[in-house]
């Protein structure tokens, strides 16, 4: 076995330097099966151009927010280009970091969305950091993954202030957190079911070339457009179905919450309370007895 290297072979220190990673990182990727073993000549390991290409690919995927577990599936071929495009869409682009909106003066809008760490969210909302940490731990506050980091957005400001308002009205924190736990478990189950429905009834048929009714009368026009029509169709399905499902779930929960509230007032409220609540929530000034016969 020759110990001489060919013109395109590199030692581990050289390949690490060219790929802008550490030697330990190269060896770690190799141990995880992300990088092919080098050619060995005695105690010397020789890396080639394909190792540099693989390291560049790994780095690109990491910068786009993919975890190493997902990268391994992409590199092995278990996930294809359509899956990669959908995962990238779910992760979202990595925006230019900007200061929180609450810390920017008028006219300083950069055009990039404002993002917040949990500490910045606490300052922007006035909600104690300890409380936000507790809400995050219970799954009530869910950070968004953008690129390689997790953060919060302006939408989370409204959510945080809403949680604080509930506390200010006298709901004990322990009871709110327990409700948050139950809500998180139920929401996780519903979300899992929704994703399974999408995968079975939308993703798999699209991958097999089936054209759903939503695309029957026109070409797919996925967000941004790609060179692969199948990828475009998958991205279009995600872009249209996510807000649709969100609307369905939010509408159902809001209507159910109001119905349960009205039922509760009917059972325990005074006549004046029932009349006032029905007028405010249901837009119906008829007495509860009259409404009961219409159910």
Task: Give domain limits for the chain.
Answer: 12-79, 214-295
Give pLDDT tens digits for 228-277.
Answer: 777 888 888 888 898 899 999 999 999 898 888 888 888 888 888 888 87
**How would CATH label the architecture of 12-79?**
Orthogonal Bundle (1.10)
E-strand ranges in the chain read 39-41, 44-46, 144-146, 149-151
The CA distance from 245 to 103, in Å, is 34
Average pLDDT over residues 74-80: 85
The CA distance from 278 to 294, in Å, is 14
At 54, is the pLDDT very low, low, confident or very high (cuts 50, 70, 90)? very high
In order of 95, 100, 142, 152, the CA distances from 145 in angstroms are 11, 17, 10, 9
* CB distance 226 to 232 below 8 Å: yes
- Proportion of the chain above pLDDT 90, given as a percent: 21
Angle between helices 173-198 and 129-137 (to 10 degrees): 40
Does this model's pTM top 0.75? My answer is: no
pLDDT at 252: 93
Average pLDDT over residues 22-34: 91
In whole numbers, what is the pLDDT of the chain averaged over residues? Answer: 79
pLDDT at 53: 93
Torsion of CA 107, 112, 113, 117, to 10 degrees: -100
Average pLDDT over residues 271-294: 62
* CB distance 215 to 233 below 8 Å: yes
- Proportion of the chain above pLDDT 70, given as a percent: 80
| pLDDT at residue 288 is higher than 50 | no
| DSSP-assigned letter for residue 280 | I
pLDDT at 220: 47
Is 264 exposed, middle or buried (CB count within 10 Å of its CB: 0-12, 13-18, 19+)?
Answer: exposed
Give pLDDT tens digits for 185-238.
Answer: 899 899 999 999 998 998 888 888 888 887 765 554 544 555 677 788 888 888
The CA distance from 39 to 43, in Å, is 10
Give pLDDT tens digits for 78-122.
Answer: 887 777 877 777 765 443 333 334 443 333 444 556 889 999 999
Question: 150: which strand partners?
Answer: 145
What are the respective helix, strand and coil percentages of the chain, to the nearest 5?
A: 60, 5, 35
Question: 132: which strand partners?
Answer: none
The CA distance from 202 to 213, in Å, is 11
CA 184, 187, 193: angle at the middle one, nearest 5? 140
């Amino acid at each position: 076995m020759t110990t001489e290297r060919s013109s395109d072979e590199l030692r581990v220190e050289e390949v690490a330097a060219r790929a802008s990673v550490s030697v330990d990182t190269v060896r770690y990727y190799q141990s995880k099966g992300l990088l092919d073993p080098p050619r060995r000549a005695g105690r010397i390991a020789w890396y080639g151009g394909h190792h540099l290409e693989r390291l560049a690919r790994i780095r690109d995927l990491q910068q786009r927010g993919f975890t190493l577990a997902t990268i391994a599936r992409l590199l092995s071929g278990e996930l294809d280009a359509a899956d990669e495009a959908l995962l990238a869409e779910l992760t979202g682009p990595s925006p230019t970091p900007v200061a929180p909106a609450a810390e920017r003066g008028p006219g300083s809008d950069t055009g990039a969305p404002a993002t917040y760490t949990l500490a910045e969210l606490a300052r922007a909302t006035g909600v104690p950091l300890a409380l936000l940490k507790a809400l995050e731990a219970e799954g009530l506050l869910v950070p968004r993954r953008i690129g390689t980091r997790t953060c919060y957005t302006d939408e989370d400001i409204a959510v945080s202030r809403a949680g604080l308002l509930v506390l200010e009205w006298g709901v004990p924190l322990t009871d709110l957190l327990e409700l948050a736990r139950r809500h998180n478990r139920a929401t996780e189950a519903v979300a899992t079911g929704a994703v399974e429905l999408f995968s079975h009834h939308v993703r798999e048929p699209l991958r097999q070339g089936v054209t759903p009714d939503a695309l029957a009368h026109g070409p797919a026009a996925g967000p941004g457009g790609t060179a692969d029509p199948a990828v475009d169709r998958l991205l279009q399905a995600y872009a249209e179905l996510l807000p649709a499902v969100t609307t369905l779930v939010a509408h159902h929960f809001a209507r159910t919450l109001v119905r349960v509230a009205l039922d509760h007032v009917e059972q325990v409220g005074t006549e004046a309370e029932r009349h006032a609540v029905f007028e405010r929530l249901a837009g119906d000034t008829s007495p509860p007895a009259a409404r009961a016969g219409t159910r």
